[in-house]
Amino acid sequence: MTPELLEKRVKSMTRFGRFAFFGPALLAVGPLLFFCVCDVCHWHVVDKETGLYIVLAGVFGFFPVVGILAYSGERRYQVLCPHCGQSLVSQYPVILSTKTCRFCREVVIDESAQ
């Protein structure tokens, strides 16, 4: 893997990571904001208990969706060590300077490969 290819994949993964967080966050916060506005305006769309369950479903559904998207994003953009399979995104600057994986110490960046 060349440094340019690694940089391109890390940037793609970062862009995907923003989508993977803010997309589900809007779905989780949307019902909460809706019921807050309804409470302030004294609109009674559903009873309090049903509204609470809808908000809790959005909030607790947020975490598994973000986890699944993050896992699939790493696999999709192949930002993994080819030797041990660990993620290279978090230690990207260290990998560029040492050219080795932090976990298995194998060479990840090969300047001669084009």
pLDDT at 114 over 60: no
Mean pLDDT score across all residues of the chain = 83
Q: Is 38 within 8 Å of 44 (Cβ atoms)? A: yes
Q: What is the pLDDT of residue 104?
A: 92
Do 95 and 83 meet the contact criterion of CB atoms below 8 Å apart? Answer: no
Residue 87 pairs with which residues in a beta bridge? Answer: 80
pLDDT tens digits, 54-107: 888 888 888 888 888 888 877 787 788 888 988 888 788 888 888 898 889 999
Residue 20: pLDDT band with limits 50, 70, 90: confident
Structure confidence by residue, pLDDT tens digits, 98-110: 889 888 999 988 8
- The pTM (predicted TM-score) of the whole model is 0.60
- How far apart CA 26 and CA 104 sit, in angstroms, is 38
Burial 26-60 (b: 16+ CB within 10 A, else e): eebbebeebbeeeeeeeeeeeeeeebeebbeebee
For the chain, domain boundaries: 3-79
